[in-house]
Amino acid sequence: MSKRHPDYIVVEGPIGVGKTTLAKRLAKSFDTELMLELATENPFLPRFYSDPKTVALPTQLFFLFQRARQIETLRQKDMFRSIQVSDFLIEKDKLFASVNLDNDELTLYQQVYDRLTIDAQAPDLVIYLQAPTETLMQRIMERGYDYERAINYSYLKKISDAYIDFFYSYTMSPLLIVNTDDFDLSKDEKNYKLLLDHIGSLSSGRHYFNPVEL
């Protein structure tokens, strides 16, 4: 009998799409460990959103080192235990760097990245959450993080478009693309249960999940 759920699941998507909310919910459903991005620990982030040009590089390098440490911690754990859930891919770091850094900064960033030994295990499933930029802006405002209030529509669209480009050619793991525009990831029980069933039936390749109308 095939296993019902993948062992290592990563939830990804642009700012405000709900990846942390879904990752927490999946971890609770599977009663498993959870590895989350720690954005609030980045001391440069508030300044980046208000004046991105001046602190883009230290902001990005802080995230790179932080994510590399987390990936190393995960790699050292027993990956043969039950399901583990995370809300980021290490590859997202380059995605944000390509949007946030100028050419000279990106060259320096790439040199640092290449010097790091990042031995990241490919997930058994990546869940890519999508939503229109207008929806992302609304969710960011509703969750009320002060440092995020400086995020503008243009920047958010660049990030969202970068995710679309990245996952267009992503083949490292099975990929499930989820439309979250009308999917309340924190409260919608019906669609969440359908999503769990869908996860349990997936094979390799690219898949889609569109929530049903309630």
pLDDT greater at residue 120 or residue 14: 14
Q: Is residue 182 part of a domain?
A: yes
What is the structure's pLDDT at 144? 78
Q: Is residue 66 part of a domain?
A: yes
Residue 126: in which H helix or E strand, if any?
strand 125-130
Is the model's pTM score more than 0.85? yes
Q: Is residue 1 part of a domain?
A: no
Q: How many domains does the chain fold into?
A: 1
Q: Is residue 53 part of a domain?
A: yes
35: CATH: 3.40.50.300
Q: Is residue 2 part of a domain?
A: no
Rounded Cα distance between 86 and 88, Å, is 6
Q: Is residue 135 part of a domain?
A: yes
Q: Is residue 3 part of a domain?
A: no
- Torsions phi, psi for 205 (to 5 deg): 100, -160
Q: Is residue 190 part of a domain?
A: yes
Tens digit of each residue's pLDDT (9 = 90 or more) over 70-117:
888 777 665 555 568 999 999 999 999 999 999 999 999 999 999 987
pLDDT greater at residue 120 or residue 15: 15
What is the structure's pLDDT at 82? 57
Tens digit of each residue's pLDDT (9 = 90 or more) over 28-44:
998 888 999 999 899 99
What is the structure's pLDDT at 88? 93
C-beta atoms surrounding 65 within 10 Å: 13
Which structural domain range is residue 37 located in?
8-209
The pLDDT of 159-175, averaged and rounded, is 95
What three-state secondary structure class fits 169? Answer: coil
